[in-house]
Amino acid sequence: MQHFDYRKATASVHCGDFPVELTRGKRMAGQYDFIVIGSGPSGRRAAIQAAKLGKSVLVVEGRKRVGGVSVHTGTIPSKTLRETALNLSGWRERGFYGRSYRVKKEIGSEDLGIRLHKTLEHEVDVLEHQFLRNGVHTMEGFARFEDAHRLIVTSPDGSQLAVEGERILIAVGTVPFRPEGIDFDDDCILDSDEVVEIPRLPRSLTVVGAGVIGIEYATIFSALDVAVTIIEPRSTFLDFIDREIIDEFVHQLRDRGVSFRLGSPVKSVVREGNRVVCTTEDGRIVRNEMLLYCAGRMGATDQLGLDACGLTTDGRGRLKVNADTFQTEVPHIYAAGDVIGFPSLASTSMEQGRIAACHAFELPLPPAPAYFPYGVYAVPEISTVGMSEQEVRDKGIAYECGIARMRETSRGHIMGLDQGMMKMIFSHKTRRLLGVHILGEGATELIHIGQAVLNLKGTVDYFIENTFNYPTLAEAYKIAALDAWNRMPRD
């Protein structure tokens, strides 16, 4: 890993085959073909793609180590926390041994942290090696625009360096939205970045916000037998997921004691003794030991000096881009990842970064596949690809659905799964697969079979005629397809 040493007045750094002379101060420190601000999923993929095209690349990262929000406070920590919770709680074995079964009877925050730190160290090491192997130069510091091509990077010691990029990618990610009136200095009130270093495991928890992040953390703590109450100002949540899947999901959560307060925003949050009291605008009061605020995130753009390069953001600090090329309103400046908003998935962010880099250097790309999967790493998992039943109905397509329960598969029975389902939607006219929606163990892995068939325009006959390993959860595809086929019209 090649780092610039800010303690020296001048330094010579080789980036692949491109020697760059760097100098301290607001003088020109280096010229690059491509500068990437941020090293999260979109930034890393874009940087490596550009380097593979033979371009000189600089990644500017505000943290001490690369990885961005995804590695340090977002995707990787939350999924690691989930896996740790499921392992230590014995969650996956409770179908056989009952709800009281636990691998470790007393689980504390230190138990959650051990695996987390090992995982993060591995992720950072892998990324540093990728940058080194591909000749990508990295610089620690905070970047702001001086003009449309020139950036001033402020290092941790306060010194400033000027760098110039022919093309620039903004991949700074997001920060938690913190409304006024909530005391986030209180160690019992956390945001979605702070929760990965939770000081202690509470007996009860209020989660404000039923988006993907809020739902994931709410269900993870529920799996640890924490009493959880979810507050959401809207009357529905996860609206991009098929409603039948959400209905089943809510049923499972209510069955294990999760409470929902939907349809009214938070009016106040105050500390009363050893409880955090949350009052909603309709007068309902929720008292719990801790509160986790997950109601939205803001693009981390406020310190970038975007006015100097001719860019503006929306009220949430997000940048507007061309949906096909990820160019901003300034053609040589691109943006990708969470900073451009929905879907804010690590997987899609990576692809956005790759496409941006390819377009920036005029590498032709084939059209992107029509459908990509969504994954919600809740307990249980939710994953979906293609159209929901409501979307199919709105388009006026004659269709049929097939349902499979995971307990109907031999593998599911062996694993002790008493819940979980797969829903498949097929067109009457073409017999083509229109959508797959999965709830339960392994959903985010299983979805890729449906993704491949969907993008290759496969039909119900693929699932009927092909052989699946036995016993596997993937057999649910055949069960659901047969269920739909039995009700589909015959020629």
pLDDT in the model for residue 135:
95
pLDDT in the model for residue 364:
87
Judged by DSSP in three states, 452 sits in helix
Q: Please check whether the two domains, 10-71+113-175+299-360 and 374-485, share a CATH topology.
A: no
pLDDT in the model for residue 491:
67
What DSSP letter does each residue of 356-367 carry, written as one string?
A: HHHHHTT---PP
pLDDT in the model for residue 460:
97
**Residue 340: DSSP 8-state:** G
> Could you tell me which residues come within 8 angstroms of residue 3 by beta carbon, excluding any fewer than 6 positions away?
138, 139, 140
> Could you tell me which residues come within 8 angstroms of residue 181 by beta carbon, excluding any fewer than 6 positions away?
268, 269
pLDDT in the model for residue 73:
80
Fold held by 10-71+113-175+299-360: FAD/NAD(P)-binding domain (3.50.50)
Q: What does residue 118 show for φ and ψ, rounded to 5 degrees?
A: -65, -40
pLDDT in the model for residue 28:
46
CB contact at 8 A, 411 and 472: yes
Distance (Å, whole) CA 108 – CA 112: 7
Query: What are all long-range contacts of 444-448, with beta carbons under 8 Å and residues at least 24 apart?
Result: 444/373, 444/375, 444/377, 444/381, 444/383, 446/383, 446/422, 446/473, 446/474, 446/476, 446/477, 447/373, 447/375, 447/383, 447/384, 447/385, 448/373
Number of residues assigned to the chain = 491
pLDDT in the model for residue 369:
81
CB contact at 8 A, 394 and 420: no
Fold held by 374-485: Enolase-like; domain 1 (3.30.390)
Angle CA 267–270–276, to nearest 5: 110
**Nearest by Cα to 480 from 415, 419, 425, 420:** 425
Torsion of CA 434, 241, 374, 459, to 10 degrees: -10
Q: Work out whether the CA dihedral 455, 458, 464, 468 comes out positive or negative.
A: negative
Instruction: Print burial letters for 224-259: b (CB count within 10 Å at least 16), e (below 16).
Output: bbbbbbbbbbeeebbeebbebbbebbbebbeeeebe
pLDDT in the model for residue 16:
38
**Nearest by Cα to 435 from 318, 337, 427:** 427
Taking the alpha carbons at both ends of the chain, their separation in whole angstroms is: 63
Residues of the chain with pLDDT under 50: 1-28
Residue with tokens 């202690």, as numbered in its chain: 200
65 - beta bridge partners? none
Q: What would the 3-class secondary structure string for 163-222 be?
A: EEEEEEEECCCEEECCCCCCCCCCCCEEECCHHHHCCCCCCEEEEECCCHHHHHHHHHHH
Q: What is the pLDDT of residues 319-374, one digit of tens each?
A: 999 999 999 999 999 999 999 998 888 889 999 999 999 999 999 887 778 899 99
Residue with tokens 């999923």, as numbered in its chain: 41
Residue with tokens 């799964």, as numbered in its chain: 417
Separation in Å, CA 205 to CA 173, 214, 219, 232: 27, 12, 11, 14
CB contact at 8 A, 338 and 298: no
CATH class, domain 178-295, is alpha beta
**Residue 422: DSSP 8-state:** E
Distance (Å, whole) CA 238 – CA 376: 9
What DSSP letter does each residue of 60-121 carry, written as one string?
A: EESSSSS-HHHHHTSHHHHHHHHHHHHHHHTGGGHHHH-TT--SSSS--HHHHHHHHHHHHH
Locate 55 and state its tokens: 């371009």
**Residue 459: DSSP 8-state:** B
* Residue 333 amino acid letter: I
Distance (Å, whole) CA 284 – CA 286: 7
What pTM was computed for the model? Answer: 0.89
pLDDT in the model for residue 21:
39
Pairing assessment for the beta strands 433-439 and 382-386 based on DSSP bridges: antiparallel
Domain assignments of the chain as residue spans, ordered by start: 10-71+113-175+299-360, 178-295, 374-485
Cα 228 off chain centre by: 22
Q: What is the spatial order of strands in the sheet that 290-293 belongs to?
A: 189-191, 290-293, 204-208, 227-232, 259-262
* Residue 87 amino acid letter: N
